[in-house]
Chains A and B, each alone.
Chain A
Amino acid sequence: MATRINPEILQRAVKIQLFSLTGFTIGILIFIICFISVKGLPQITLEFLTSNPLDMGRSGGIFATIVSTIYLIFVALMIAIPLGIGAAIYLTEYTRESRVTHLIRFGTECLAGIPSIILGLFGFAFFVMALHLGWSILSGGMTMSIMLLPTIIRTSEEAIKAVPYELREVSFSLGVTKWQTVTRVVLPAALPGVVTGIVLSIGRCIGETAVVIFTAGSSLRLSESFFDSGRTMAVHFYILAREGISMPNAYGTAAILTLSILVINLSAYYIMRQFLKKM
């Protein structure tokens, strides 16, 4: 008779193995955060945050790149939020599940699957060249909004669907129209879920490079309007590190990047939890 492994021991071995696999994943995250923090945090001073880059970024701070990043987020969200929430409302409230909605949903999934560098190329060909917007925050923001749309549509849709159907029935039974029901009852109830999606997409805006290099350029000057070119923090980090201009400043930028994404994801998580608690 072949020797069998004691099931008790097997059980324990599998548990340990799975635990270490999970631990490894978390370990990588912790390692990256520590690595960036150790190398980057010493660079961060108030001056680093509030002064503009000098000498191609060899010295000076990153103020202009922070401003560009915020501008870019602003433009991208101003476009993506109304489009995304509008599409989500249409898909959930104004159509029944049909082949058309499946097609629309499939389309947004495909949009989500397009590599960002391809989107960047599209933004360059369309907004920068064809529409003559040049390398600008506006071109960058518009291209970025295309990238964010699938996320915002998907998360808003889920949040709207989670609102109990009875609330709509009650509202209709009081002689309230569909649109009023959507704006006064459904959207307020779905708001935390919608906001979570928006916050997560801000995180993606901050970290994106490929789209931005192609469409917003990499000018280091402080951008004064949406028609100016600008360099975001992520692009700044990429150029500093790739061209070997200044590793300390690159790590300083990376630390700010990582920190802000961490803060944003944590707040998204927090909002989501509040939302789930309420339901």
Chain B
Amino acid sequence: MSAKIIVRNLNFSYNHHKVISDLNLMVEANNILGIMGPAKSGKTTLLRIFNRLCDLIPNIRVKGEIFLDGENILLPDLDVDTLRTRVGMVFDKPVPLPRSIFENLAYGPRIHGVKDKKRLEELVEKSLRLAILWDEVKDRLQEPATKLSGGQQQRLCIARTLAMEPEVILLDEPTYGLDPISTLKIEQALQGLKKDYTIVLVSNNTWQVARISDNVAFLLMGELVEYGTASEIFTVPKDRRTNDYISGRFG
């Protein structure tokens, strides 16, 4: 297994308030890394550092290094737009752009220079198939995306990220507030995706992390408490706090 992302001594503070301290972590390629932890443990912040979306927040301080294929992505002069085409993100709330289903998916690729209509159509179909949404929407690609149900909208958001053909996909609680069937479909889609993509999943749902992750990181108050394969963490956790968390004693 090769490492896709290596995090070294990462520190992040916001308004002099420490959010992440001395974090070391590795994300293996073609693998699903599940990040779990209670609220305020820095999970979402960590995701937003991976694609530098954290740059939008005022008064932040980032120290340390994050290597994506050996290249430090925390350098101030890095081209963040290119980084974000390589590291895609799906948010906890499905946010379709106010345009048609097709245009939602074509938006990113078109801006990055895919002009050919045939190629766009192929991309859209491929992405929707990967997100297990194609069969439900293939006959109404021109309808507004806001008309889809919540679960469909979230799969649309996953497909929209896939249409960029990224290398890494970050998911921030992608099934938050969705019904079990939608959740299942999204989990199935993610399982299918890992052969071509590296996936980092943040979830409050411990069982979801257990179901679909290969490796698991447990964060608490901005610190990495434990990191290991899912089977290790969920059967023989080394740290007592991990054990308490997964058995539901706190968090």
A interface list, Cβ under 8 A from B: 96, 164, 166-167, 169-177, 180, 184-185, 188-189
Tell me if B107 and A175 are in contact (CB < 8 A). no
- Chain B: interface residue total (CB-CB under 8 A): 24
Tell me if B95 and A170 are in contact (CB < 8 A). yes
16 more contacts with CB within 8 A, not counting A169-B95, A174-B107, are A167-B97, A169-B56, A169-B91, A170-B97, A170-B157, A172-B53, A173-B84, A173-B89, A174-B160, A175-B81, A175-B82, A175-B84, A175-B112, A177-B81, A180-B111, A185-B97
Q: How far is the CA of A171 from the CA of B157 in the complex (A)?
A: 11
Q: How far is the CA of A175 from the CA of B82 in the complex (A)?
A: 6
Tell me if A166 and B93 are in contact (CB < 8 A). yes
Some 14 contacts from A to B, beta carbons below 8 A apart, are A167-B98, A169-B53, A169-B91, A170-B91, A170-B157, A171-B107, A173-B51, A173-B88, A173-B91, A174-B164, A175-B83, A175-B111, A176-B107, A180-B111
Residue in A96, A173, A184 whose beta carbon sits within 8 Å of that of B53 in the complex: A173
Any A CB within 8 A of the CB of B127: no
Any A CB within 8 A of the CB of B161: yes
> What residue in chain B is nearest A97 (Cβ atoms)?
B58
Chain A residues with CB under 8 Å of B82's CB are 175
Residue in B51, B111, B112 whose beta carbon sits within 8 Å of that of A184 in the complex: B111
Q: How far is the CA of A225 from the CA of B204 in the complex (A)?
A: 68
Chain B nearest CB from A217 CB (Å) reads 46
Chain B residues with CB under 8 Å of A175's CB are 81-85, 108, 111-112, 164
Chain B nearest CB from A172 CB (Å) reads 6
Q: How far is the CA of A242 from the CA of B107 in the complex (A)?
A: 59
Chain B residues with CB under 8 Å of A174's CB are 84-85, 88, 107-108, 111, 160-161, 164
Chain A residues with CB under 8 Å of B58's CB are 96
Chain B nearest CB from A201 CB (Å) reads 26
Tell me if B51 and A189 are in contact (CB < 8 A). no
Chain A residues with CB under 8 Å of B160's CB are 170, 174
